[in-house]
Structure 1
Amino acid sequence: MISNKVVLLEEHLTALNELLFDIPGIEGAAFILCGQSVSESVTKLISHAVIPIKKEEYLRREPYCLSISSAALSRVTKLARYENLSIIFAHSHPQGISEFSEQDDGEEEKLMPFLQSRVPDRIHGTLVLTESHIRGRLYIPHRIATDAVLTVGNRFNGYFTGTTEIAPIYDRQVRAFGKDVQHILSKLHIGVVGLGGTGSPLAEQLCRLGVGTLSLFDGDIFEDTNVNRVFGSRLEDAGLLKVDIAKRSLDAIGLGTDIKLHPKHITDEKTALALRDCDVIFGCTDKELPRAILQKVALHYSIPVLDLGVLIDSHAGKIIGVHGRVTTCMAGEACLFCRGRITSENIRIETLPEVERKQQIKEGYAPELGDPAPAVIAFTAATSSIGVAELLHRLTGFMGSERYSSEVLIAFDLSRIRTNRIEAREGCTCSDKAEWGCGDKVPFLELMWPNHTK
């Protein structure tokens, strides 16, 4: 069954509310230019830019109806066709009726053929906004109701069709965050990239929280030396895929979470394409190329990526420092390159064939390969918990309305946690709004996809 969604950046929703509710009690409208994402299981329109309707372009604007001029339609279709984007027509119901009306049905029967003829080969849609709810429809090419309208920014939110009964086993969580948050968790599709010391406990926490769907990405084989930090594993699992171990463990919990497995690394293009179906992604890999891919996904598809890392600095068996990190990557935030968490040079070295890498090391063009990094379950599991807490804050705001940081830094050896939010580096692609919500591109993510990397 295909799921249909609309994803709105928080700044675009703010702009919509200002345009649609500028005159109390009177309907308002605007257009949204959107990227699109089309896979076998999920169709999405992703907000790219909000296009206001000029005052003189309204033919009628009343409490229960509005109409706009052909000049407004021509203007927005030219923009969409030029940029190869989809169009959403959004309007308000100021009286608080969150459903599409019969009049909306009739207007869309005239509007959609026009949009489809002027901007062909694209999915288009409509939204109805009240002060507390959003409903959506997509035309693929025929009308179908969206399953969800998701908003992404300082807060994450979701407006879903239908209701889901909350099982009594979640009573303690409902007491903490309320039924609405539990309902959103049950509808979310979250990806976890990497199922080692941070990814495996994180996946288990998400499952126990009641997240509806988990997509697990990892191409690694389990080794017996992993058993001291990989949740759900046993010594006898050596040789099994990490994703299979995780699924066995999560299914055994019995909460009915839909577990989807992707037993290859996301440097495989087909595997990376599946990331588009997620609503939120946790990056739990220690490689820089996968992190760079996740950064592009965050921008092109407005999918928040929470990137986790743990570094233990020790010498001769003595700990010098233990650091954990949770960085939220999405449009409007400084990226992993801006922060120096990943670099183009490290990615270049990481992706070299082994023979060539050894030669460059010998010639002094690449650093020596060190021993495997230290890893301790207490620190990896604790960092995963802080990552989950960060997700809950984005859903609920429980850390306070003034808390706008996009990175959490944990110094375990100093018993200290601090947060930060920095500006994007001048000239970095993450500050280029042309990248935000652009959706599917050819080639995928505008990247070359080598076959030899892991």
Structure 2
Amino acid sequence: MKLHHTLVLPAKQADQLREHLFPGDGLEAAALLLCTVTGERRPKWLGREVICVPHAECTRRPDFITWPGEFVEAAMDCALARGDAVVAVHSHPGGLFAFSSADDESDRILMNAIRHGTDRAPGSAIMIASGAMRARVYEDDRATPIDLVMKAGADIETWWNDGATGSGPLSPPMAFTGDMRASLSRLSICLIGVSGTGSIVAEQLARLGVGEIILIDFDKIEERNLNRILNATRDDIGVLKVEMFADAIRRYRRDGEVISVPCSVATREAILAAREADILFSCVDSAEGRHIADRLSAYFAMPLFDVGVAIPTEPLPDGGRRIAEVYGRVDYVYPGGSSLMDRGVYDAALLEAEYLARTAPHALAGKIADGYLRGMAEEAPGVITLNMRAASACVMEFIARLFPFREFANETRARTIFMLAEGDEDAFSEGQFKNGHRFPVADGEIEPLLGLPALAKRRRVA
């Protein structure tokens, strides 16, 4: 997989840019985008803040714009204080999806000024009326195209520099085609948890042709796992799940890359590996794992797909128990939207219960007896048929976001729950969840990592 430069725009910032750059008068407009820079193997610019240059302060024409230097200076001051990069963005209301010779000449002066006023390489970008963008970064005196500009919202919109022309970007491939597979070969996806549902999600992503798959799981295969982890055999007992699955993928794929991270997701190593990906999948059964995924999605502006299954039971009068329901759940979270915590997938009580279960099991038992906690929400051991149904629904949700094929808006499917005993399926829109804005968006690896003191970089003691 060819490594590339990426500019990620959370939906809020992308929509703010579009609204300002296209006021409806057919004249060019300008803004400055402050970006957190992250990634080592795959440099990513995360759009964090938009500084709009007032239209009245500019000289605006259909194919030309100038704006006062004071706004550039203000952007540089903000960027320098945080270590951000500055991307100068302007509109092409005529629809030209390329940098003009006038843009090149303007950048020659502006990029040099920004480079000397900040600690980061500057960039420039153009936007057309549809919201599509092309961007480039000036690491030296020469412009290097940013390979991918991605808008992370209810839809995941991708604009690749390769293949774009002056008349516009490439259209998204049709879902379920070879062109879709070719498009997926350009993406990097991180998957947290490679067990019951996770192994099935990973198998589908690999066979769909995803270019790079990052697998995070600290656990080893046990005999009791063999009934639900794909590709696992008796010979794999005692082997790390990520290593077994990475080897399995390599046996049937010569292209692409598989990176195994044999760590808990609640470690710096795992977080720094996950940040390199474009998209995140959470296939865990713990509140802590989902809490980390929630924060990863926000801090690194990554669309997140979370899947879970459960088989709740209820007591019978004779003292036995019966199955109350058999259900699966898929949540899609985009940076700046409602989080898994907002939606009640986990809460502070569950996080505390899991912590006590690890560190003070007797205290946990006492708190449950006292009614202080609502208790541990135990997801049922996965039966492979239920896991397959849920994992497939999760990957199908991913396809629908990148390659729209539905006859209804993706905004209406922030969550889906299927109930096999009842024979029903419920869908919940983004607007049905209260957005608590719990986590900062596009802050990157600002310390402490993910805002969690336990993940802070340790200082060396002399």
**TM-score category of the 2 structures, normalised to the smaller one:** 0.7 to 0.9
Unaligned ranges ≥5, structure 1 = 165-172
Give yes or no for contact 2:175–2:403 (8 Å, CA) kept in 1: no
How big is the shift at 1:368?
Answer: 7.7
5 Å-filtered alignment, 1:56-135, equals 56-59=56-59, 61-81=60-80, 85-118=84-117, 120-131=118-129, 133-135=132-134
| 42-51 or 347-356: bigger deviation | 347-356
For 2:19, the equivalent position in structure 1 comes to 18
1:375 maps to which of 357, 370, 382: 382
Which amino acid in the other structure matches residue 325 of structure 1? R
Give yes or no for contact 2:449–2:455 (8 Å, CA) kept in 1: no
Which amino acid in the other structure matches residue 419 of structure 2? A
Q: Secondary structure at the match of 2:274?
A: helix
Which amino acid in the other structure matches residue 396 of structure 1? F
Give yes or no for contact 2:283–2:306 (8 Å, CA) kept in 1: yes
Give yes or no for contact 1:333–1:423 (8 Å, CA) kept in 2: no
Q: Tell me, yes or no, if structure 1 residue 412 matches structure 2 residue 415.
A: no
How big is the shift at 1:268?
Answer: 1.3
Give yes or no for contact 1:349–1:357 (8 Å, CA) kept in 2: no
For 2:460, the equivalent position in structure 1 comes to none
Give yes or no for contact 1:4–1:146 (8 Å, CA) kept in 2: yes
2:450 maps to which of 424, 432, 445: 445
> Any idea what the Cα deviations from partners look like across 1:162-192, whole Å, max 9, x if unmatched?
259xxxxxxxx97655666444322111111
How big is the shift at 1:355?
Answer: 5.3
Unaligned ranges ≥5, structure 2 = 165-171, 315-319, 457-462
How big is the shift at 1:228?
Answer: 1.0
| 86-95 or 373-382: bigger deviation | 86-95
TM-score by length of 1: 0.87
The 1:176–1:162 alpha-carbon spacing in structure 2 relative to 1, beyond 3 Å, is closer
Give yes or no for contact 1:156–1:394 (8 Å, CA) kept in 2: yes
How big is the shift at 1:360?
Answer: 3.8
> Any idea what the Cα deviations from partners look like across 1:367-399, whole Å, max 9, x if unmatched?
888998332101111101000111111113322
The 1:16–1:180 alpha-carbon spacing in structure 2 relative to 1, beyond 3 Å, is farther
For 2:345, the equivalent position in structure 1 comes to 341
For 1:387, the equivalent position in structure 2 comes to 394
5 Å-filtered alignment, 1:185-264, equals 185-254=184-253, 256-264=255-263
Q: Distance in 1 between matches of 2:297 and 2:77?
A: 27
For 2:302, the equivalent position in structure 1 comes to 303
RMSD: 2.9
How big is the shift at 1:206?
Answer: 1.0
Q: Secondary structure at the match of 1:341?
A: coil
Q: Distance in 2 between matches of 1:371 and 1:429?
A: 27
Q: Secondary structure at the match of 2:23?
A: coil
How big is the shift at 1:254?
Answer: 2.4
How big is the shift at 1:130?
Answer: 2.9
The 1:398–1:446 alpha-carbon spacing in structure 2 relative to 1, beyond 3 Å, is same
Q: Secondary structure at the match of 1:191?
A: strand
Q: Secondary structure at the match of 2:255?
A: coil
| 179-188 or 364-373: bigger deviation | 364-373
5 Å-filtered alignment, 1:24-35, equals 26-35=27-36
Q: Secondary structure at the match of 1:449?
A: helix
How big is the shift at 1:18?
Answer: 3.0
> Any idea what the Cα deviations from partners look like across 1:386-440, whole Å, max 9, x if unmatched?
00111111113322343413111111212211111355547x343x7xx122223
2:330 maps to which of 326, 332, 335: 326
Which amino acid in the other structure matches residue 439 of structure 1? G
Which amino acid in the other structure matches residue 130 of structure 1? I
> Any idea what the Cα deviations from partners look like across 1:174-232, whole Å, max 9, x if unmatched?
76556664443221111111011111111111112121111111111001111111111
Q: Secondary structure at the match of 1:390?
A: helix
The 1:2–1:442 alpha-carbon spacing in structure 2 relative to 1, beyond 3 Å, is farther
TM-score by length of 2: 0.85
5 Å-filtered alignment, 1:126-145, equals 126-131=124-129, 133-140=132-139, 143-145=143-145
For 1:162, the equivalent position in structure 2 comes to 162
Which amino acid in the other structure matches residue 427 of structure 2? T
